[in-house]
Chain A
Amino acid sequence: MQLVIDSLSKTYPNGVRALDKVSLTLTNGMFGLLGPNGAGKSSLMRTIATLQEADSGSVHLDDLDVLKNKDRVRQLLGYLPQEFGVYPRISAEQMLDHIARLKGVLQSGERKDLVQELLSKVNLINDRKKKLGTFSGGMKQRFGIAQALIGSPRLIIVDEPTAGLDPAERNRFYNLLSHLGENTIVILSTHIVEDVSTLCSHFAIICLGEVLYNGTPDAAIAGLEGMIYSKSIPAAAIGAYRKDYRVISTQLKSGQLYIRVLQEAAPGDGFRPSTPNLEDVYFSNILTRVPVDTL
């Protein structure tokens, strides 16, 4: 399967340009979307998930025109929104059963098994009779994951799926996703750069509605090979360093400030070469558009 996004643009009524000629091509496997808050990640995902109209551009899933043929897309889709609610007076089991019906799992025995399997996968099996209105944030998020996986979706979109999950849950979820990714397109948006490097075969960095980078994590890191240098400096000196170097990240630790800079050649001045990581890729790209001050 292939998802081709071509020159997708969207401007909100308040003038915010959420998507600016976004073009991406995705294939089976996990695709990570990185970007600061308000970059347009959610707008992009909502547009693909048929929840939002685009002003221009196109999205195709193989031959399927996603923007026009929404009903068909929805039949292939598993979507976990960044933020969502539930019917407060319906139980988790009943709600999953309901969604499974809507997702076309009409054979009742099959559906029942599926719901039980999902409930145990997300460890809600003991809470299955509880009303969703009584669920905690983490439970709700796990419910959200379960519903997104119903009906063998071919395109899974998960928008910051690990919010509200503890580290163990987060890892289990990623493992689950990796299993799915083999014959499915999974689009994952996250703030956590590390997640992308460990999980995703491809990723893109979006900022202010524009795609700044698109490729594999390894290639992205390789591209910075030999260009990242780090140094520990007094915190007060940062102003001067900003003037002279492209500081891409800073980290304050016990009164000392560790900075990382992007330079074509070794800057000397006490800087030591450092192994580039995906975070460097992220910051170096973002910095071209917006100031990033991690202090």
Chain B
Amino acid sequence: MFPQLFLFELKYRLKRPAAYLYFGFFFFVAFMGFANGALPVQENEFYNAPAMLALYAGMVGIFMMLPSSAIMGTPLYRDIEHNTKDYYLSYPITKAGYFWGRFWGSFVFVLLIGSSVFLGAWAGTLGGPFFGWSGKEHYQSFHFYHYLYPYLTILLPDLFFMSALFFGLVAVFRNVKVIYSSALLLFLGYLISNFFLHNVNNPTVIYLWDPFAFTPLRMITGPMSPATMNGSLILVRGLLLENRILWTSIGAVILLGTYLRFSFGRFFGGQSRRRWGHSLRQVKTLNAGGSLRTVSAGVGGGLRQGSLRQVKTLFTGGYSRKVLYTLTRIEILNIIRDNYFWIIMAGGLSFLGFLFWSSFSPYDVPDLPRSSFFMAAYMDQFGFFLFFILMFYTGETVHRERLTRYAFINDSLPPPNWVLGTAKVFSLLVLAIFFAVVPMVLGLAIQLLKGYHQFAFPVYFTNLFVLILPKLVEMVLFCYAVQIVAGNKFAGYAIGILLWVFLWVVDDQGYFTYLLLLYGSAPYAFVSDMDLAGHMLKPLLWFHGYWLLAGGCLLVLASLFFIRGTSSHFTERLRLVRERYRGRLRLGSLVLLAGYLAIGIYIYYNVSVMNFYLTNHERDQRKVLMEKELKHFEPLPVPTVVRLRLQAELFPEKQEQSTHAWITLRNDERVPIDTLLLDKDNIEDYTLKISGRVLPYRSPLSYPGGKFNFLRPARDSSDYRLYVLRTPLLPGDTTLVELQSRIVNLGFRNESYGHSMLYNGTVYEGGLPGAGYDDGDELRNNEKRKGYGLPPRIDPVILHNDPDGMRHLDAGNTSSLTPIDITVGTSGDQWAVGPGRLEKEWMENGRHYFHYVQQEPGIYPPFMIFSARYARRQDTVAFAHFPPVRVTLFYHPAHSANLDRLMAANKDGLRYMSEHFGPYPSGDFSFAESPVYAPNYLSFPGGTAFSEHFGWNAHFTGPKQTDYLYYKATEMLAHQWWEQQVAPNHTMGSSVISKGLSQYIALLLVEKKYGKEMLTDLRTREQYGYLFYHRRESRREHPLLYARDDNESGAKTAIVLYGLQDLIGQDSLTTALKEFHDAWAFRRYPPYAGSEDLYRVLQKHVPDSFRYYLTDTWEKVCFYDNNIVEARTEPAAAGSYRLTVKVFINKVYYDSAKQEHPATGMKDYIDLGVYGEQHKELYLEKLLFSEGEHTIELLVPGKPVSVAIDPERKLMDRLPEDNRRMLIPKS
């Protein structure tokens, strides 16, 4: 019996187009992906790296839900749908034969479709070089195993699980809707796992919740270097293996359970058995009613005789409106009376509730439950989920009458087509509105439950009406049109989902980003507490207006293709389209189209005429052109700014900034300066005057216009201008330049823009052009460079003794200690927070003016001014020997939860650093809230800015929570010394001075305030971050002396310095740093300080016995690999315990090729700690170790629970997890 049914299934499938289409589609996508390298590969990673193939398999697994559900869901359902039950109930078919025949006959096709992925990938690796799309060097030689292994371990379990699930669900529930709801829940599982990957580091959830194993694979490959990605298969072991076993078992259990429970009677009979009993009762009543042909009225018969009452029918006046209402109502009832709807809702809502409840939690400290977080997280995490639900219910709603066969009645009822169609659209729009309101209702509920009462309704409503609802409505209109035109639910799903994913991929991956041509897309915007949607409101409204009108046109299309009556073939539908397209519909569609085009033209005018849009390719071409044409200007000497007087007018409400500046330039070079190459950056226009005369310039470079900007001039001049000075500036000479510039945003752009020019939250950076050729604008990708005939770009090596590097500051080539005098005006209700001391603040003509001065000793530019409607809190730090410093917090009035904490951090820091390194040079220190688009935290001369996102709304509930506000605030404050006083030069590793020392001091201050435990927590986090970098970084790491990456110059330096003070004593290190500070602070002339200068001072203060530590960290790249091999304990006298610990000590060096070399002859001091109940410290000593295994015997005063080598994570350990061991009592 099995073979017949199996073969029947095969033959059936072979005759149907679906399997071929799916096979072809997945083959094609894989082929194109691997042939073009349209994959998330890193530089130097092969497209067909085994890890890439595994990742691809995981990703495709999600999309395989489409074919799996289509192929596995139908074989059983077909029999129900086509009412073949009578045959099966009467034929001698065995249950096993039927069940397994149908299952395997279909599953074979799912497996074949799955194999298309790897066939396509393999064909792509051949096709790429063959068609010349990608070079041979991107591929490694073919290993069959690289393809087979991920197929067997990743995709096959996925396919089996999904197939078993979908097949089983249909067998039990006897309908297909259950498939889509379960598919949505599977997708939700992936979303949860994905959310945890990005937000909460809980490996169990990340690994196990994703049925497709895509998230675990991303977790595994995340820190992999290209060499590892290329070199080895992703072995299925550990938690990944558990994931595979878990989901495969679930599949197997479902399948077996269904099989055991399966019976023909139940499956085909199902509800009808119940019906049968029911109708028997009916028949009895009927029989009592009377005999054939002698029925009289009212004798309890099935149909009562007699004519019907005449009723009045009305088809004019309010008919359409009333009927539209009743139809919409019944459509909604149809949706919400469905259990699956509530299952999906329950799944989605519980995840959403969890997401909202746990909130955004940097350093595991949750933020207050803010509306802005809720609403942004909703679209972020649920965008696709919502689309799938809407797609699903659109399919159901559009085809409900046909699928239930109620269409035969419904379609002969009086309402005109437009009423029937509109009712469907309305019901779906109601669904969309419901989904738009959900996050707000849930958010409010959670806010109330958490006792948080800043409901921020403007944030809710702006999100709701500007971002969420329009998007959902666009989705509905899209889904509706697709379903109607496709004419078939399954085809509609496939076409709709693939199109939507395609639209998303091309934009997200940057293949094509011109939003005007991507249905439903609008520039990114974040609705913030400070500024709501701000200036982005306008482009958002225009774009969504544009797409809603496009959606309207789609509705017209749908109404033309609207199916009524028996479904007819396509040519007949086309004939109907022609018939229907006339009269009011035609007029309406033309009006819609005209509106759509008009808005399109307006957007085009903004995006491509007032501004311009470049494709990625064009952008690259411009970079290449710039490099080819202007690179020869790179050696051009650049003058230094030595004094700055500036009057700035900020108009936040107009997104405009104008500057009038008097700049004193000095030639610090050894040659005369006669030519200046200036870079406009984001300045709209500027003029330069010397001695009252405007300086002429020429444009050394222009670019061909972008193809999307055909109304603009054929060529765009570049940002560069070339000025020739009338009298060359001789070495050591100075000159005064007068500059007038204007920064303004004209219209809006294709992308999110003006991030530093919000209505409430402006960042002003001086309005000065940049000087010299900017190699930061060069094309970086070496692959592409090769294609354009450019030499490979290597990160510039600026040696410590490089004369040019020593003469310039890291902060910029024109930067030096600059006395400033700044007058800045802003809107009357805003405050402008600037550098230096606030001399005066006044109102004039309804505008608010500020005068900031820092003459002695001046600042090291660049500086920043923040303007917003700030609330202020002030306090003063008094010193015994220096003048007091006024500390002002500038914050959004609603963000006042952590002011005390921030104030304390800044006061403590000012006190500590003034006392240890020298006074703070100005009377004012400002701590400001920067716009939501700004970096989380940054330091500027005279202040610190934390973005609206970061910290202001942290919700501290207990003393044990990591006070990251204190940590980051003190770190940023420390930059006032280690950047603003000792300014690092422009050589390699110099940023250890600014980043490393600041972070080290922040660690000290945290320890001082909160103790060792919080410090250890922070160090563990920093180490974890560094280890991630260490594993991921394919290029060599650098010793601190040559640190380049922020991970090296920041976190690693801080940890290393902390370890150093642990060895030599904090006071010694502080003395050393003070010495370094005093030698280099407030330099007016080169040379400036570099890492070697710091290192020399440190060397001086480190005794010989600890020199190894200094060399290991500053001159070499070194990791420990210590662990506790074994530990046993037994009670000794008087409550004390004897302890035997076996430790393994190991240290390795990495050379520049990232090869390992084990250390020999070690004599290193390493902590050994023993801990009792509740982590009570019983023993903690520095012991001197050589490499290898050591056995240590100890006597501790109390029952030990765990023992650890380097318990406080002072050393860089490759695998810190094995440093601690729980104790086993000696038997």
Contacts and interface: CB of A to CB of B under 8 A. Distances in A.
A144 to B, nearest CB: 7
Contacts of A121: 303-304, 306, 308
Contacts of A89: 333-334, 337-338
A87 B326 CA distance: 14
B309 A134 contact: no
A168 interface: yes
Contact of B307 (A49, A171, A179): A179
B275 A117 contact: no
B279 interface: yes
Contacts of B338: 89
Given A83-B405, A134-B271, A147-B409, A90 B286 contact: no
A203 interface: no
Interface string A119-141: 01111000000000111111100
Interface stretch (B130-138, B565-573, B747-755, B1218-1226): B565-573
Interface stretch (A72-80, A229-237, A263-271): A72-80
Interface stretch (A57-65, A94-102, A185-193): A94-102
Contacts of B287: 166, 168
A15 interface: no
A41 to B, nearest CB: 14
Contacts of A21: none
A152 B310 contact: yes
Given A81-B409, A168-B289, A168-B291, A123 B275 contact: no
B727 interface: no
A38 interface: no
B414 A71 contact: yes
Interface in A128-178: 133-139, 142, 144-145, 147, 149, 151-152, 165-169, 171-173, 175-176
B1184 interface: no
A173 B315 contact: no
Interface stretch (A104-112, A219-227, A241-249, A282-290): A104-112
A180 B308 contact: yes
B745 to A, nearest CB: 53
B319 A104 contact: yes
B290 interface: yes
A166 B291 CA distance: 11
A165 B283 CA distance: 10
Given A50-B565, A104-B414, A149-B308, A169 B301 contact: yes
A121 B404 CA distance: 25
A168 B292 contact: yes
A139 B277 CA distance: 13
Interface string A15-36: 0000000000000000000000
A101 B323 contact: yes
B717 interface: no
Nearest to A105: B311
B330 interface: yes
Given A89-B337, A104-B314, A168-B291, A117 B274 contact: no
B303 A90 contact: no
B275 A88 contact: no
A218 interface: no
Q: Which secondary structure dominates chain B's binding surface?
A: loop
Interface in A186-230: none
Contacts of B670: none
A253 B668 CA distance: 125
A50 B282 contact: no
Most buried by A among B291, B565, B568: B565
Interface residues of A, number: 67
A99 B279 contact: no
B693 interface: no
Contacts of A175: 295, 303, 305
A51 B408 contact: yes
A103 B313 contact: yes
Contact of B293 (A52, A107, A171): A171
A118 interface: yes
Given A81-B408, A85-B404, A105-B313, A123 B303 contact: yes
B326 A98 contact: yes
B564 interface: yes
Most buried by A among B292, B326, B405, B412: B412
B415 interface: yes
A114 interface: yes
Given A74-B414, A105-B311, A168-B290, A51 B303 contact: no
A63 B306 CA distance: 31
Nearest to B413: A102
B409 A179 contact: no
Contacts of A79: 408-409, 412
B564 A51 contact: yes
A106 B322 contact: yes
A107 B279 CA distance: 34
B400 A87 contact: yes
B383 interface: no
Nearest to B271: A134
A173 B308 contact: no
A98 B414 CA distance: 12
B198 interface: no
B92 interface: no
Most buried by B among A101, A134, A145, A173: A101
A258 B411 CA distance: 46
Contacts of B307: 179-180
B416 interface: yes
A103 B314 CA distance: 8
A64 to B, nearest CB: 13
Contact of A49 (B291, B295, B301, B412): B412
Contact of A75 (B300, B414, B565): B414
A71 B319 CA distance: 13
Contacts of A80: 409
A59 to B, nearest CB: 14
A86 interface: yes
B992 to A, nearest CB: 69
Interface in B548-568: 564-566, 568
A169 B287 CA distance: 9
B414 A145 contact: no
Given A84-B408, A89-B337, A98-B330, A120 B304 contact: yes
A169 B313 contact: no
B554 to A, nearest CB: 24
B1183 to A, nearest CB: 75
Nearest to B310: A152
Contacts of B304: 120-123, 172, 176
Contact of B292 (A53, A111, A167): A167
A145 B409 CA distance: 11
Nearest to A79: B412
Contact of A168 (B279, B295, B566): B295
B412 A50 contact: yes
Contact of A169 (B271, B291, B303, B566): B303
A126 to B, nearest CB: 9
A103 B311 CA distance: 10
Contacts of B315: 75, 104
A117 B308 contact: yes
Given A71-B416, A84-B408, A168-B287, A176 B303 contact: yes
Contacts of A180: 307-308
17 contacts: A13-B569, A74-B412, A84-B408, A86-B406, A89-B334, A101-B322, A102-B415, A103-B414, A110-B312, A121-B303, A122-B302, A137-B275, A138-B282, A139-B279, A165-B302, A168-B292, A179-B307
Given A74-B415, A81-B412, A84-B409, 16 more contacts: A51-B411, A77-B412, A83-B405, A83-B408, A84-B405, A101-B326, A104-B414, A106-B314, A107-B312, A114-B309, A121-B306, A138-B283, A147-B409, A168-B292, A168-B302, A175-B305
Interface of B: 271, 274-276, 278-279, 282-283, 285-287, 289-293, 295, 300-315, 318-319, 322-323, 326-327, 330, 333-334, 337-338, 400, 404-406, 408-409, 411-416, 564-566, 568-569, 572, 575-576
